[in-house]
Amino acid sequence: MNNIFTIPNDKLDMHECPLVVIKCIDFRFRQTDQEFVERCLGFDNFDLFAWPGAAKDVLKNNGFKTSFIEYVVAVSRGLHKVKKLLLLWHWDCGAYGGSKAFSSAEEEKAAYLKDISIVKDMLSKELPGDLEIIMAYSKIGPQGLEYCVVE
């Protein structure tokens, strides 16, 4: 016997969205990342690519970077006509060894900001020129996760 579940979806006729998000797969951030993108940035619809460490592997300048760029260009840009790309890092990322791998919160923040900026520069050179790249990260604050858009 099969179990069939029906879930309404009012977006099936849509074929364009304004944003593609590249984030870490970490389940702890899935819901709040989505809320940040929707409520704070104002994007109800977006493509989502998730890997351990977000786009950290782009730094290796290997086959991952090539495949990643091909997917963004072919799928998100080509099919869904995205105009913006969000690089979203998070605190305590296991791909970096977690917060314990750093001597201080300032060192952890500096590492994330350095890598996210390098990834942005690398992608800016290879993705279409009119694709705006936004950088952001989240960290644990007294009331929950705090998101910071990096200028």
Question: According to the model, what pLDDT value does residue 129 have?
Answer: 84
What Å distances lie between residue 65 and 1, 8, 71, 147, CA to CA?
A: 43, 35, 10, 26
Contact (Cβ atoms closer than 8 angstroms) between residue 145 and residue 32: yes
Chain segment 8-65, per-residue pLDDT in tens: 777 777 678 999 999 999 999 999 999 999 999 999 999 999 988 888 888 887 787 8
Question: According to the model, what pLDDT value does residue 31 have?
Answer: 95
What's this model's pTM, rounded to 2 decimal places? 0.88
Contact (Cβ atoms closer than 8 angstroms) between residue 83 and residue 132: yes
Domains with residue ranges and CATH for the chain = 19-150 (3.40.1050.10)
- The H-or-E segment that residue 109 falls in is helix 105-126
